[in-house]
Amino acid sequence: MFSDAVVSHFGSGWVWLVKNTTASVLQVFATHDADNPLKHGLLPLVVCDAWEHAYYIDYRYYLLLCTFMHRNAKKSYVDAFWKVINWKFANENLCVHFSFFSIVSFFLL
């Protein structure tokens, strides 16, 4: 769900894993430009930069140095994103507000 949201996100923006404080559920939330979940009453836990510079310029440059270069590295960028998330930090933020639910279990359901 999260990966698909990043890959399909068109234009500049972000994809967030947020806690909906009203419904006490986790959800994937996409924003454009400088918008953020706090403006919508949501608690941000994890964010992926979906702006073109992140996957098309910065990450593509990394791929050029390491392997062969892809024209559109967005899918590869998202796959690499999952390897660097600080789950402990995200879970600590979640547990402060939602102590009975582990963030990792959201992805296992």
The pTM of this model reads: 0.71
CATH number reported for the structural domain that contains residue 84 in this entry: 3.55.40.20
Asked whether residue 107 is domain-assigned, the answer is no
Asked whether residue 109 is domain-assigned, the answer is no
Q: H/E/C letters for each residue in the chain?
A: CHHHHHHHCCCCEEEEEEEECCCCEEEEEEEECCCCHHHHCEEEEEEEECCHHHHHHHHHHHHHHHCCCCCCCHHHHHHHHCCCCCHHHHHHHHHHHCCCCCHHHHHHC
Q: Is 36:45 a contact under the CB 8 Å cutoff?
A: no
Tens of pLDDT, residue by residue, the chain (109 residues): 999 998 888 888 999 999 987 887 899 999 998 899 989 989 899 999 887 666 655 555 555 555 555 555 778 878 888 888 888 988 888 877 654 445 555 554 4
Q: What's the number of domains the chain is made of?
A: 1
